[in-house]
Amino acid sequence: MELESFGERLASLRLKKKVSAREMSLSIGQSDNYINKIENNKAFPSMTVFFYICEYLGISQRDFFDDESNDPVQQIELHKKLKKLDERTLSYFTGILDEILNK
């Protein structure tokens, strides 16, 4: 992933969480403009800080780089709920999703 793409992805995920760049920066123990610098392609986080960023966003590092996933947090929540369904209900739900995706 290129530096520009990294910053764009971070901004997108942060906005989905509905937090400001300043709030996120301070929450991960950085200066108030740290996330802003990353999103504006003026900095790149260390691996350690990248792990903090992902933890703050509630996603895995893999989820961060999965640019086919527009909202990994929502997908994680959906997956948790699907795991609670019995086999019959899960099969029914899968059928509904198949119908939606084939339209």
pLDDT in tens, the chain (103 residues): 555 699 999 999 999 999 999 999 999 999 999 999 999 999 999 999 999 999 999 999 999 998 788 889 889 899 999 999 999 999 999 999 999 999 7
Residues 7 and 39 placed together within one structural domain of the fold = yes
Residues 6 and 56 placed together within one structural domain of the fold = yes
- Tally of domains within the chain: 2
Two tokens at 43?
Answer: 């900095």
Residues 16 and 50 placed together within one structural domain of the fold = yes
Instruction: Report pLDDT for 4.
Output: 63
Across 7-41, b (16+ Cβ under 10 Å) vs e yields bebbbebbeeeeeebeebbeebebeeebbbbbbee
Residues 35 and 78 placed together within one structural domain of the fold = no
Q: What is the pTM of this model?
A: 0.78
Instruction: Report pLDDT for 18.
Output: 95
Identify the domain containing residue 85 by its residue range.
71-103
Residues 23 and 54 placed together within one structural domain of the fold = yes
> CA 6, CA 60: separation in Å to the nearest integer?
15
Residues 23 and 55 placed together within one structural domain of the fold = yes
